[in-house]
Amino acid sequence: MMPSPAVHRQETPAYWKKGVQAGLPIAIGYMPVAFTFGLLAKAAELSLFETISMSIIVFAGASQYIALSMIVALSGAAELILTTFIMNIRHLLMSASLKERAEDDPKWLRAIYAFFITDETFSVAATSPEKKITGSYLLGLGLVAYSCWVIFSGVGYLMGSGLPQSLQDSMGIALYAMFIALLVPAAKKSKKVIALAASAAVLNSIFSLVPALKGGWGIILSTLIAAVTIEFFMRGDERDE
């Protein structure tokens, strides 16, 4: 289907609806992750307001989990913000790639839906069968995923406070279990992922013995060294991705 610009304009509600439908699987996938974030934010002694604010303002799962672990480790504000930035530089690639298909929309509209770019919304939008990704499609997609993220962060926080203290103590592992759960499936498929994670882990363990590098700066430094050197040694090692 190749709609002319006029037809495209008429079909805006249909695109919005398609976006919402495409967003539903993401929303379902976000529920447990957002719920766990709320639970962990409670364990990290954030307030409900701070927890929900972070989900509303940042909307980036991995960064929000990292922020919690850095807050627990008493990292400073500059380390937290810099780590978040480094973590999210990868969105440059997704934004650039979406631009190829969304160029017809006005700048202000693109500025709005840029906020909703995550690994998941990008993957769904980029693989959608529509020839042109319209603003209303991306807004429908993004808003469904986003609302679910924000609401379930709050639900997780509130339900966390009802748990017994001994159970809350063993929840210190939850953040790390989450990272392991994100890493292992990728590592099973790729030697490069194993090399990246292992070298950054070893570097950060060494850096943690240096008082000045303890916490955030050690994480930044070991991440950058690993990402750059592994790229140098294992470039083109992966079949795809």
Partner 1 sequence: MSDQLIWVIVGMGIVTYIPRMLPLVLFHTNHLHPRIQGILKNVPYAILGALIFPGVLTINPESYLYGGIGAAAAFIAAWLNLNVIVVVLSSIFVLYGYTFL
Per CB under 8 A, contacts with partner 1 among 94-153 are 94-99, 102, 107, 110-111, 113-115, 117
- Quick check: helix, strand or coil at residue 126? helix
Provide the 10 A C-beta neighbour count for residue 14.
12
Burial of 42 (0-12, 13-18, 19+ CB in 10 A): buried
Q: How far is the CB of 59 from partner 1 (least distance, A)?
A: 7
Min CB(206)–partner 1 separation in Å: 9
Number of H helices, E strands in the chain: 13, 0
Binding-site string for partner 1 from residue 23 to residue 62, where x marks contact by CB under 8 A and - marks none: ---------xx-xx---------x--xx--xx--xxxx-x
Contact between 80 and partner 1 per CB under 8 A: yes
The answer to whether 137 and 125 are in contact (CB under 8 A) is: yes
Q: Which is nearer to partner 1, 27 or 67 (CB)?
A: 67
Q: Contact between 81 and partner 1 (CB under 8 A)?
A: yes
Closest separation in Å from C-beta 89 to partner 1: 5
Q: Among 190, 221, 217, 191, which residue's Cα sits nearest to residue 203?
A: 221
Stretch that binds partner 1, among 3-11, 17-25, 76-84, 128-136 (CB under 8 A): 76-84
Check binding of 192 to partner 1 (CB under 8 A): yes
Query: What is the dihedral sign for C-alpha 201, 203, 204, 205?
Result: positive
Name the segment binding partner 1 (CB under 8 A); options: 6-14, 17-25, 126-134, 166-174. Answer: 166-174
Under rule CB under 8 A, residue 85 binds partner 1 = yes
The residue to which tokens 């990868």 are assigned: 90
CA distance 157 to 170: 16
